[in-house]
Amino acid sequence: MEKYLYIALFAPLVSSLFSALFTAQKKKQFVGVIASLLIFTAFASSTVLLVHILNGGEPIHVTLMTWMATGGLNIPFGFVVDEVSVVMMMVVTLVSTVVHIYSNGYMDHDKSFNRFFAWLSAFVFSMMVLVMSDNYAGLFIGWEGVGLCSWGLIGFWYNKESATWAANEAFIMNRIADLGMLIGLFLVYWNTGTLQYEEAFAAFPGLDHATLVWIGIFLFIGAMGKSAQFPLHTWLADAMEGPTPVSALIHAATMVTAGVYLVIRSHPLYDLIPNVGLFIASLGAFVAIFAASMALVNRDMKRIIAYSTLSQLGYMFAAAGLGAYWVALFHLMAHAFFKALLFLGAGNVMHAMHDELDPFKMGALKEKMKWTWIMMTIASFALAGVFPLAGFYSKDAILEVGFVEHHYIIYTVLLVTAGLTAFYSFRLVALIFHGEDRYTLFGIHPHEAYKFMLWAMSPLLILAIIAGAFQHTFFELVEEALNAVHYHIHSHVTLWIMIIGTQAFVLASIFYAYKKYARKGIKVPDGTSETEQSFLYKLLYNQYYIPYFYDEYFVKPYRELSSIFWKKVDLKVVDATVDGIAKVLYSTGSATRGMQSGNLSTMLRWMVVGLVVLLMIAVAVGLAARYSAELSQFLAGLGV
């Protein structure tokens, strides 16, 4: 079995290095094909491992070699395939395979085709390291690795100023969170003496509560960066500058869920500190509704989906924070399928529309792009949580957790968000695919994507439909590893009211969105309508002015302060002082040259002056020393 672990882990690395060999050359089709095959190999191996674990096999644990060892620290390269990591491996390799194949078509005409696959496969490798590591340090390797690949892929079209800016923003913002994560690691090390999961988890119950709380908080700060939780969320929407397959893989299905994975992986810790868990859940619920509200009015197709991702991450944290780790992991998995599908569909639309992103300029595309329409509609139904699609099972479970655990505020917020989700998802679908065609005005002739791209997307489509059926198997798989329990609402009446009520609410939202945006006569907004003038619309459209606030109160002052530090402090104060001292020494030298005139009487006179001065200093020091015990002790060091 170990063999499969190594294949799953290293096939993406091989793929990346192989593609990297051709980065400087023109597009080579075989690079994309071989990369896709290698990633598929990783997927196949992961499947074998999943079957092994499903059949009750022992978790597979390997240690390659020592990485860092000094003092009491010993960090190996260790990897583990257990119930949790195998689920993540499946999600990562499956979506990666789909995205790799899809990219063969999507990046068809790009001059940096080969470089794209080098980065994409490198990302898969980093993600595999992240989820398979058996210790926090290894997780951190993957953590930073995916950050690097995200940087390289957001800024993939590096000639574009906005893309490179977004890439740097994502990297730096993640670094802020990574500092929290590092501190978390230091706390774990100095309190438990190890960074291995197993040993650390075994030691946690023996630590005092305050320490555990700090560990929990700092690790979660790390998670907040990768999973773009408030207030570190702005980078995710800007990250949409990258090619769309990247958004599907990295910024929807896998990397952004790394934070959730961290919390799930550290569940023995968070079990001990439910108050931190409650904070995580509350923040998650807040982010869910906060992000959904921004998606309501946005006019950029990819950003709308990005906000929806953010919102769904909030759901996952809400579940994980309340201790329902398996529910969070299940939603993570289901979400990966339908969100990646949604993004890839958006990629098809973008291609058809010559990179136009404003859905108001589209309309009636269902005639030209039937399959994309079907896929995106089903993905949106799944996202909205309509029975019997994947989202219904995973999202309803989260709502039930909130209800059963008596956190009614969280429950209500998440319920309202479910309605908003349904609304903005179908606002998007309606604007893109229904109503009148508005794109002809802009002289665009849309066409459906390549067949093989649609075929590549089909596994995601199937899973978005049927993933709910796996709920029971999934529960049994992780039951032991995550201390999973079923969240039963005891009264059947309440349960049915809840389910039917939620479904009715969601369907009503969908219907309302369709009614509002699929009608005839929709105009491209020009900022004059009454809605657009309203305060609320502006607030939401400008993302609560948070990016503006960051720019104005962090970015600009930092730049100005840096400039002051250089031009005023470093050159005018620090360096000028040094030069000043040198100058004084130099001029004293020239000024006192007169003393050594060779004239005996002058020199004698100076000698007397010197003697008197020295005597005075000696007396002063002596007096001071007598009256100050500390000074005398200090001076003893000089031998006085």
Residues within the interface to another protein (CB under 8 A)? 23-24, 65-73, 140-141, 144-145, 148, 151, 155, 158-159, 161, 164-165, 168, 171-172, 175-176, 178-179, 182-183, 185-187, 189-190, 558-559, 561-563, 565-567, 569-570, 574-575, 577-578, 582, 633-634, 636-639
User: Rounded to the nearest whole angstrom, what is the least distance from the CB of residue 571 to another protein in the complex?
Assistant: 8
User: Rounded to the nearest whole angstrom, what is the least distance from the CB of residue 129 to another protein in the complex?
Assistant: 9
Residue 321 to residue 328: CA distance in whole angstroms: 9
Nearest Cα to 134, choosing from 227, 199, 219?
199
End-to-end distance of the chain based on CA atoms, in angstroms? 75
Residue (14 or 148) nearer to another protein, CB: 148
At 379, is the secondary structure helix, strand, or coil? Answer: helix
**Omega cis (within 30) before 557:** no
User: Rounded to the nearest whole angstrom, what is the least distance from the CB of residue 187 to another protein in the complex?
Assistant: 8
Identity of residue 287: V
Nearest Cα to 396, choosing from 497, 477, 490, 482?
497
Q: Which residues contact 12 (CB under 8 A, 6 or more apart)?
A: 38, 39, 42, 96, 121, 122, 124, 125, 128
Residue (129 or 292) nearer to another protein, CB: 129
Residue 562 to residue 556: CA distance in whole angstroms: 10
Partners of 74 in the β-ladder: 69
Residue (442 or 558) nearer to another protein, CB: 558
Residue 471 to residue 477: CA distance in whole angstroms: 10
Tell me the chain's radius of gyration from C-alpha atoms: 31
Residue 621 to residue 631: CA distance in whole angstroms: 9
Q: Compute how many other C-beta atoms are within 10 angstroms of the C-beta atom of residue 637.
A: 7
Residue (571 or 614) nearer to another protein, CB: 571
User: Rounded to the nearest whole angstrom, what is the least distance from the CB of residue 570 to another protein in the complex?
Assistant: 5
Residue (190 or 455) nearer to another protein, CB: 190
Residue (535 or 627) nearer to another protein, CB: 627
Q: Please say whether the dihedral angle defined by the alpha carbons of residues 324, 327, 333 and 334, taken in this order, is positive or negative.
A: negative
Residue (138 or 245) nearer to another protein, CB: 138
Q: Where is 67: in which H helix or E strand?
A: strand 60-70
Residue (496 or 554) nearer to another protein, CB: 554
Residue (168 or 412) nearer to another protein, CB: 168
User: Rounded to the nearest whole angstrom, what is the least distance from the CB of residue 171 to another protein in the complex?
Assistant: 6
Give per-residue burial for 309-345: e unless 16+ CB within 10 Å, then b: bbbbbbbbbbbbbbbbbbbbbbbbbbbbbbbbbbbbb
Residue (122 or 414) nearer to another protein, CB: 122
User: Rounded to the nearest whole angstrom, what is the least distance from the CB of residue 193 to another protein in the complex?
Assistant: 8
Residue (530 or 630) nearer to another protein, CB: 630
Q: How many CA atoms lie within 13 A of 402 on its CB side?
A: 23
User: Rounded to the nearest whole angstrom, what is the least distance from the CB of residue 444 to another protein in the complex?
Assistant: 26
- The secondary structure of 534-566 as a DSSP string is SHHHHHHHTGGGHHHHHIIIIIHHHHHHHHHII
Q: Where is 73: in which H helix or E strand?
A: strand 73-81
User: Rounded to the nearest whole angstrom, what is the least distance from the CB of residue 273 to another protein in the complex?
Assistant: 18
At 19, is the secondary structure helix, strand, or coil? Answer: helix
Q: Which residues contact 340 (CB under 8 A, 6 or more apart)?
A: 95, 98, 99, 248, 249, 252, 253, 460
Residue (78 or 145) nearer to another protein, CB: 145
Partners of 66 in the β-ladder: 76
User: Rounded to the nearest whole angstrom, what is the least distance from the CB of residue 142 to another protein in the complex?
Assistant: 9
User: Rounded to the nearest whole angstrom, what is the least distance from the CB of residue 268 to another protein in the complex?
Assistant: 22
By the 8 A CB rule, do 471 and 330 touch? yes
Nearest Cα to 130, choosing from 165, 182, 189, 89?
89
User: Rounded to the nearest whole angstrom, what is the least distance from the CB of residue 385 to another protein in the complex?
Assistant: 38
By the 8 A CB rule, do 117 and 21 touch? no
Q: Which residue has the tokens 């868990």?
A: 277
Q: Which residues contact 455 (CB under 8 A, 6 or more apart)?
A: none
User: Rounded to the nearest whole angstrom, what is the least distance from the CB of residue 194 to another protein in the complex?
Assistant: 10
User: Rounded to the nearest whole angstrom, what is the least distance from the CB of residue 229 to another protein in the complex?
Assistant: 18
Nearest Cα to 421, choosing from 317, 333, 312?
312
User: Rounded to the nearest whole angstrom, what is the least distance from the CB of residue 554 to another protein in the complex?
Assistant: 11
Residue (24 or 591) nearer to another protein, CB: 24
Residue (186 or 548) nearer to another protein, CB: 186
